[in-house]
Structure formats: structure tokens, C-alpha cells
């Protein structure tokens, strides 16, 4: 009896310590390249004392979490692309969050009305053009202009970055016009729609094409690469022009997002919310801008000098939640016109 009386406080203390240790962590499933995310998470741990554990899931994140069910250890799910972000909410893999911080910092256009998803940074889909090309403005519609026949480079039409753009085009122009536009862009391709965004700059330097569509942050990476390196040469060979939708009333450049949700069965919900709130803080948003060359969702954040040199970024006013509604049709049209063939 005396033995158990003596040990009982010890057992309680140990259990409490274990509980506290467990609470001081957050588990993240992410489709983002680990190297792009880790500096932010390291700073989060340093500033909060909360350990951030990551699992990199290149493909099938939604399916994995669904299969794990209520046994899933994931607290936060982080993805690239608005379609994949809203999919997590639509498949009931996210839970609604009420956070004054997130609501005040993130514009309504870049968060779910139900509080289930939040964008953390923006990536605009821009035009890379040969440096000596006499071109100062551009519309997405012009990609199908016959004057660019044999002069356009782009990655696969089925890549999420492009299906997102095509989805927005459908939202602005309708299916029939989008199909004709895709046919025109395909007719203008200098090579098969393939490779990555940086290969667009590479092929412009090589003289294979004059223009191409790609994300702006790759220019930040290329121009900040080591002097004389291959990628630095690619970045220096192009100039950046922000296309707009000619059919849109307000005009604006298409942007995709990186974002996150709090997992439906998060066991560390409080820490998960703390992480999301931290990622929209002034410090973290500055890191998004300077490490990843992305556009922060927090207004007034200083940009990387290379990105700032592109001039003012005016995003397409189309509500971000509208884009995924046309994703399936965009993919079907890419196949219908044989865009990637």
C-alpha cells in the first residue's frame, strides 16, 4: 500500500510530462518540396517551441489521408494548387477553423468561406519572352494568335499549373471559346508541350521559341542562381510580362496558390492552428517572399528584389474558389484537342 502511494504521484507526473511533450508538436503531410518548406518550419519551432514533423507525400495525399481515417496522425495538410487544396475540403478531410488572425490577414478571395482552407502564398502564371523581343504587354488570348506559330513553349497541358489557367479561361470565356483557344495555342507550339517551367526559359535561350507560359517564382530562382551557372543564363535570357485575360472586366494575371487545411482528425488541433497563424505572420510571409520567391498573402510584405523588378502584381479578380469548378472540363479539353500529343 505504501509502495503504490509513493509511486502514484510519480506516475501522474510522468503521464503529465508525456502529455505535454506530445502536445508540443504538430504533424504535417505536405506535397511541397521539403527544401522549400523546411526553413519556415525550423523558424516556427524556434519561435514557438512546437516541433514540426513532416511527411512528404508527392502524390495521392487525399487518398492516403482518407484511407488512414481517424487513425491518421496528420494535423495539417499542405498542398500546391487550388484544386488540390479545395479537394481536401470537398472530400471531408479538413475541419473548419475560426481564427481572427487568418481572417484578418488572408483576403476573402484566398480562403474558404467555410473556414476549411487557407492560401498562404500566390504564384502568378506569366509570360517568359526573349529578352530582345519588342513586347511590352500581352493577353492569354494572344497565345493562340497565328503570328506566334512555331514560337510558343509550354509544359504539359495536364500539369496542375496549366489546368488551373485553362480552368480560369473557361470561367472567363466559356467552354467553346476555350476549346478553340487551346487548338490555336497547340498550333503555335514550337515543340511538344512537356518539361518544366524552367525549360521554357532554356528553350527561349536556345532559340527554339520566343515566348512561353510559366510561373514567376522560377525566374527568382534562376536569376538568383550562381553567377555563370546554366540556370542563371536561362533566367538572364528572358524578360517577364504579366498577361491578363482580355475578356475579364478588370483584367489581371492568373495566380495559383500554396495553402493548407487543418486535418479532420487532427490530434494536435491547437498547434495546427498556431502553425497556420504563424505562416501568415510578418516574419513567415517575408520568408515566403525571399526564400521561395512567391507572393505573400499578407499585404505590405517586402518582395525579393528580382520579383519586385517585375512591377506591380494585379491578380485576376475571379474568386479563387471558382477555378476548381472547371478543372475536370479543362482536363477533358486538353485531351480533346490533343494538346500534349
CA 259 remoteness from chain centre: 7
Give Dmax (Cα) for the chain.
Answer: 93
**Single pTM value for the model:** 0.89
Please state, as a whole number, how many other Cβ atoms lie within 10 Å of the Cβ of residue 172: 20
Cell of 84: 488540390
- Cα separation, 330 vs 247, whole angstroms: 18
- Phi-psi group of 205: left, alpha or beta (phi > 0 → left; psi -120 to 50 → alpha; rest → beta): alpha
- Cα separation, 337 vs 159, whole angstroms: 15
Mean pLDDT of 111-125: 96
- Cα separation, 96 vs 89, whole angstroms: 9
Cell of 215: 510561373
- Cα separation, 191 vs 149, whole angstroms: 11
Please state, as a whole number, how many other Cβ atoms lie within 10 Å of the Cβ of residue 150: 12
Residue carrying C-alpha cell 495553402: 259
Q: Which of 34, 47, 22, 91 is nearest to 274 (CA)?
A: 47
Which pLDDT does position 4 carry in this prediction? 44
**What are 260's strand-pairing partners?**
78, 118
Residue 21's pLDDT band, with cuts at 50, 70 and 90, is very low
Cell of 22: 506530445
- Cα separation, 158 vs 140, whole angstroms: 17
Cell of 146: 497565328
Residue 18's pLDDT band, with cuts at 50, 70 and 90, is very low
pLDDT one-digit tens code per residue, 296-338: 999 999 999 999 999 999 999 999 999 999 999 999 999 999 9
- Cα separation, 155 vs 254, whole angstroms: 16
Residue carrying C-alpha cell 499542405: 78
Using DSSP's 3-state secondary structure scheme, residue 189 falls into: strand
- Cα separation, 260 vs 77, whole angstroms: 5
Residue bearing the bigger pLDDT, 213 or 19: 213
CA 199 remoteness from chain centre: 19
pLDDT one-digit tens code per residue, 181-230: 999 999 999 999 999 999 999 999 999 999 999 999 999 999 999 999 99
Which pLDDT does position 200 carry in this prediction? 98
pLDDT one-digit tens code per residue, 244-297: 999 887 789 999 999 999 999 999 999 999 999 999 999 999 999 999 999 999
Helix, strand and coil in the chain, % to nearest 5: 50, 15, 35
- Cα separation, 204 vs 129, whole angstroms: 7
- Cα separation, 86 vs 212, whole angstroms: 28
Cell of 207: 532559340
Is the confidence at residue 5, as pLDDT, over 50? no
Residues 6+ apart with CB under 8 A from 76: 26, 27, 28, 29, 260, 261, 262, 263, 266, 272, 275, 276
Is the confidence at residue 12, as pLDDT, over 50? no
Contact criterion met (CB below 8 Å) for 213 and 169: no
Which pLDDT does position 34 carry in this prediction? 79
Domains of the chain as residue ranges with CATH: 2-122+255-303 (3.40.190.10), 124-253+312-336 (3.40.190.10)
Which pLDDT does position 20 carry in this prediction? 40
pLDDT one-digit tens code per residue, 156-178: 999 999 999 999 999 999 999 99
Which pLDDT does position 10 carry in this prediction? 36
- Cα separation, 266 vs 7, whole angstroms: 33
Which pLDDT does position 2 carry in this prediction? 41
Cell of 90: 470537398
Which pLDDT does position 32 carry in this prediction? 87
Q: Is 217 annotated as a binding residue?
A: yes
Residue 23's pLDDT band, with cuts at 50, 70 and 90, is low
pLDDT one-digit tens code per residue, 138-155: 999 999 999 999 999 999
Amino acid at each position: 500500500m505504501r509502495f503504490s502511494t509513493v509511486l502514484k504521484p510519480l506516475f501522474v507526473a510522468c503521464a503529465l510530462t508525456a502529455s505535454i511533450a506530445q502536445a508540443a508538436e504538430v504533424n504535417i503531410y505536405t506535397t511541397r518540396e521539403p527544401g522549400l518548406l523546411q526553413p519556415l518550419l525550423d523558424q516556427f519551432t524556434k519561435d514557438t517551441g512546437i516541433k514540426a514533423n513532416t511527411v512528404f507525400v508527392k502524390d495521392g495525399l487525399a487518398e492516403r489521408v482518407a484511407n488512414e481515417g481517424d487513425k491518421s496522425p496528420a494535423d495539417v495538410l499542405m498542398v500546391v494548387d487550388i484544386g488540390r487544396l479545395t479537394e481536401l475540403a470537398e472530400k471531408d478531410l479538413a475541419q473548419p477553423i475560426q481564427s481572427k488572425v487568418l481572417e484578418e490577414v488572408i483576403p476573402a478571395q484566398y480562403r474558404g468561406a467555410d473556414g476549411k482552407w487557407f492560401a498562404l502564398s500566390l504564384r502568378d502564371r506569366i509570360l517568359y519572352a526573349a529578352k530582345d523581343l519588342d513586347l511590352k504587354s500581352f493577353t492569354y488570348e494572344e497565345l493562340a494568335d497565328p503570328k506566334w506559330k512555331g514560337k510558343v513553349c509550354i509544359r504539359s497541358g495536364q500539369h496542375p499549373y496549366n489546368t488551373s489557367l485553362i480552368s480560369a479561361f473557361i470561367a472567363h470565356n466559356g467552354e467553346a471559346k476555350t476549346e478553340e483557344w487551346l487548338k490555336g495555342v497547340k498550333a503555335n507550339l514550337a515543340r511538344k508541350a512537356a518539361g518544366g517551367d524552367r525549360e521554357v526559359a532554356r528553350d527561349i535561350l536556345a532559340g527554339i521559341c520566343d515566348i512561353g507560359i510559366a510561373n514567376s517564382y522560377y525566374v527568382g530562382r534562376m536569376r538568383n542562381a550562381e553567377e555563370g551557372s546554366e540556370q542563371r543564363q536561362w533566367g538572364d535570357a528572358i524578360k517577364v510580362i504579366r498577361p491578363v485575360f482580355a475578356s475579364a472586366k478588370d483584367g489581371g494575371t492568373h495566380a495559383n496558390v500554396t495553402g493548407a487545411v487543418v486535418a479532420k482528425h487532427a490530434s494536435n488541433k491547437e498547434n495546427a492552428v498556431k502553425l497556420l497563424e504563424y505562416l501568415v505572420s510578418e516574419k513567415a510571409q517575408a520568408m515566403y517572399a525571399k526564400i521561395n520567391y512567391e507572393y505573400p498573402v499578407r499585404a505590405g510584405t517586402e518582395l525579393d528584389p528580382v520579383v519586385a523588378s517585375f512591377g506591380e502584381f494585379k491578380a485576376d479578380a475571379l474568386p479563387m474558389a471558382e477555378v476548381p469548378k472547371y478543372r475536370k472540363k479543362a482536363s477533358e479539353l486538353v485531351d480533346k484537342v490533343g494538346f500534349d500529343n
